[in-house]
Structure 1
Amino acid sequence: MTRDTVRTLHALRGTVRRIAITHRLPAEARARLVLSLSDLCAAPLSSGRLVTLTSDRQAGRDGTEFLTLRSRFLGRSISRTAVRRLPLPGEITPCGDFVWRLAIPPLPPDPNTPASPGTGPGPASALTPHTNPFAAGPAVDMAFVEEELRAALDHSDALAAELSLLERELIETNSGVLALYVQLEERDQALRRSHGQVLRALEDALRPRPLHVNGLEMAVHYAPASDDSPTGGDLYDWFTLPDGTVHITLVDALGHGVTSTRTALTVTHAVRTLALEGHPLDSIVARTDAILRPYDHDVMATLLLARLDPATGHLALANGSHPPALVIRGNRTADYLEVRGRGVGYPSPGSDRVLTTTLHPGDLLLLYTDGLTESRRDPVEGEARLIDAARRHRSHPTAVIPGAIASDMLGDALHNDDTLAIAARLLPHPFGGGRP
């Protein structure tokens, strides 16, 4: 064990370096130890205090030798946090000493054998524990400093090379991730296209075939609430009854997606069956509920039923909680054809009455679901806007009217819903009217 007392920072650095070199500490560890003691002792030494350094060489259980360096300040205390932040962190003993316990590299087995890795080339490699490393003067001292600087630069260069390698690997990884992302995006788009084609085919299969009736033009527009689910609870059906009148059904089942589509399908099929069997129009809503409710207690849908005679223009309407039909007359007057009633699945389902009126050639009949008028959460405002849009487009070809009206109504929608609109218009009879 050796003990040294120093009074100046220069003497402290020389003493620490001598102890480190004598015990063959690697240049980097030596430099860190010198810097750590310099940081700790600069203040007390500049104020005239003494610093005592005690070094001891000890052997571990496995034969490894350790250098224990103990530093004591007279009249100064340092926090544990400050010690942990040093270039070479140490420990604080209960009595206030600062201790470093460093492994000593073993001596080469033969004097002609180079020093072990980590000790580094230079003047320290030939020293023994009893050598005075500064006996040759300042030149040797500077050589040791240069050796420590070289070790620091080598360490810095190694870190820079490792950082460069990591940056290259990161660039390669990012390129791979980007390529994978592009590939996944392409696959996702392909799946979306395929999914959309299948669902559009399903949607087309749910639509009734176009109906061609002399003296009558009809067109339909349908838009789902979301492109991801092209089917919904808004469905329609149209067909010609044996007496030549055209029956139109609009259904708006509760909810969205495939479940509501199934509900709407069952309702439209039930209505078609009842209509073709000849049941009166005013009874079909209630009878549809009576047929379906025992098999599906959760079924709930609004519906509007229309019967139009293309020869005479006679129009009959029954309603079950559905928005009213709209008529724009040839003189641009607008009428909502209000019929009270309650839909399938509602309490006391059925249409309270059948409303009848007459359409004249050029009159525009518009049947729709609530997604058209409630896109901004104010049905009264929606109905007023619908009248304006219908008047604006009534002179256009019938085929484009439902889509044009929907575009106007949904251009600034606050929320999306399934939307269905049907336009019907009588044509002037070439012989002046009446059934041929």
Structure 2
Amino acid sequence: MIRRSTTLHSLPALRTALRLLAHELRLPADVRSRLALSVARAASGELAAGRAVTLDASAHDPAAPGEPCPLTVRLRAPLAPRPAELPLDDLPLPAERLPDAAVWRLQAPSAGAGTPPGAEPAAGSAPAGPRRIIEQLEEELQDALSRADSLASDLERLKHELGETNSGVLALYVQLEERDEQLRRAHGQMLRELEDALRPHPVRVPGVEMAIHYEPAGTDAPTGGDLYDWFLLPDGTVHITVVDALGHGVTSTRGALNVTHAVRTLALEGHPLQSIVARTDEILLPLDPELMATVLLARLDPATGDLTLANGSHPPPLLMRADGAGQLMEVRGRGIGYPMPGSDGLLHDRLDPGDLLVLYTDGLTESRRDPLEGERRLAHAARRHRHLPIEEIPGALAEDMHSVILHPDDTVALTVRRTAPAPDEEGS
């Protein structure tokens, strides 16, 4: 059994005492170096402050031959005002904190066939003095170098594995990017084809020019319940339908398509314009009882400019004259799925050359929750942009109106402008 108690006043003396103790107990180089670093770090504050520390060590005899010897190393700072505050965090060899000390509990090697810990060295062996301390330092250095070499080897292996992993990830990323680009192109092509199927191109007829701007409420739903239709009737007049079905996305698109198809069929069959909204409701409600949609119908004679409107709960069109005077064209009525659906009457007016007609859905004017303010802003925007090429006007109106959007909605902006007749047409 070994018992040692030493009072020390400097770090070199503390390290020397620890190395002599390690030699006496034959501690492995790794444990020896960790113990020396840990005890020195814990005692450094007290020694730097000029106070002594006490190092106690005790090694008990093993419980049975061949078993390790229990070893306890205790560091005390008897002169410190608060001994329990020795710095013991993150030590190479963790310590147990006691009220008056720091304690390291270790296992010294078994005696085996060699000299037991604490026994006198055999005759002719070197004394445990400076030479042995130097040997211990060399052993610790060799152990540190061996661990450094092992860590360096592990680091190189990890670098190689990381490089291979990065190469694989990069290749996978490139493949995913290529696949994503293919999907984007396919998705874009599908949307273009879908838009072509849902949104007919403007009618080409002398004396009238038309353009359209459509903007869905969100990019995840490229279609919605705001649709339009325009076509030429057998008598040469242009028919325009604007529909806003309740809801968003593909489900509302189906309802809006049903409305535009029913209106086109009734118009081509020659039904009076004022009756078409009510007849559309009669046709569709048995098939889709949940359908609710506002509808605006317009008829324009390209030769004379005569304009007729029917309305089912839809926002009123804006007529902007060539001289900048604007007016909303109000027609009372109720839409598809509303009580007593139908247009209460017809509104008749005339488009002169240079006059601009703006038909739209409420997503254009109600983006700030005030329809009256939206109508005033629309009149101002139409007055400012009325001389632009016709294909630029709807987009310019939408850009002005959507400068501030508090709640997004599907938007249709459709513009019709009467043009001056060609010189040969005037003389005919």
Q: TM-score range by the shorter chain?
A: 0.7 to 0.9
Unaligned runs of at least 5 residues, structure 1: 110-125
Shift of 1:381: 3.6
Query: What secondary structure, in the 3-state scheme, does the structure 1 residue paired with 2:382 have?
Result: helix
Residue 3 of structure 1 corresponds to 3
Tell me, in whole angstroms, the C-alpha distance in 2 between the residues paired with 1:64 and 1:267.
Answer: 96
Aligned length: 415
Shift of 1:240: 2.9
Tell me, in whole angstroms, the C-alpha distance in 2 between the residues paired with 1:326 and 1:81.
Answer: 85
Residue 362 of structure 1 corresponds to 354
2:291 to 290, 295, 299: 299
8 Å CA contact 2:312–2:333 kept in 1: the answer is yes
Letter in 1 for 2:56: T
8 Å CA contact 2:310–2:331 kept in 1: the answer is yes
Letter in 2 for 1:33: L
1:104 and 1:92, CA in 2 relative to 1: closer, same or farther beyond 3 A?
farther
Shift of 1:20: 2.9
**Once the two structures are aligned, what percentage of the paired residues are identical?**
56
Tell me, in whole angstroms, the C-alpha distance in 2 between the residues paired with 1:21 and 1:154.
Answer: 21
Residue 254 of structure 2 corresponds to 262
8 Å CA contact 1:364–1:423 kept in 2: the answer is yes
Query: What secondary structure, in the 3-state scheme, does the structure 1 residue paired with 2:363 have?
Result: coil
Letter in 1 for 2:26: R
Residue 56 of structure 1 corresponds to 60
Shift of 1:29: 0.6
Shift of 1:104: 2.4
1:328 and 1:135, CA in 2 relative to 1: closer, same or farther beyond 3 A?
same
Structure 1 residues 311-332: Cα deviation after superposition (integer angstroms, max 9, x where no partner)? 3322111112222112222333
Shift of 1:135: 0.8
Letter in 1 for 2:253: T
Residue 20 of structure 1 corresponds to 22
Tell me, in whole angstroms, the C-alpha distance in 2 between the residues paired with 1:219 and 1:209.
Answer: 9
Query: What secondary structure, in the 3-state scheme, does the structure 2 residue paired with 1:220 have?
Result: strand
TM-score by length of 2: 0.81
Residue 31 of structure 1 corresponds to 33
Is residue 89 from structure 1 mapped to residue 94 from structure 2 by the alignment? yes
Unaligned runs of at least 5 residues, structure 2: none
Tell me, in whole angstroms, the C-alpha distance in 2 between the residues paired with 1:94 and 1:390.
Answer: 86
> How well do the aligned residues superpose, as a CA RMSD in angstroms?
3.8
TM-score by length of 1: 0.79
Shift of 1:74: 7.3
1:222 and 1:261, CA in 2 relative to 1: closer, same or farther beyond 3 A?
same
Shift of 1:305: 0.7
Query: What secondary structure, in the 3-state scheme, does the structure 1 residue paired with 2:283 have?
Result: helix
2:72 to 70, 73, 77: 70
1:81 and 1:268, CA in 2 relative to 1: closer, same or farther beyond 3 A?
farther
Structure 1 residues 77-97: Cα deviation after superposition (integer angstroms, max 9, x where no partner)? 965995564332244689978
1:126-165 mapped onto 2 (5 Å cutoff): 129=117, 130=119, 132=121, 135=127, 137-156=129-148, 158-159=150-151, 162-163=154-155, 165=157
Shift of 1:258: 1.2
Tell me, in whole angstroms, the C-alpha distance in 1 between the residues paired with 2:106 and 2:129.
Answer: 29
Structure 1 residues 271-315: Cα deviation after superposition (integer angstroms, max 9, x where no partner)? 222323333322322332333233323222221111222233221
1:271-286 mapped onto 2 (5 Å cutoff): 271-286=263-278
Shift of 1:408: 4.2
Residue 388 of structure 1 corresponds to 380
Tell me, in whole angstroms, the C-alpha distance in 2 between the residues paired with 1:11 and 1:331.
Answer: 104
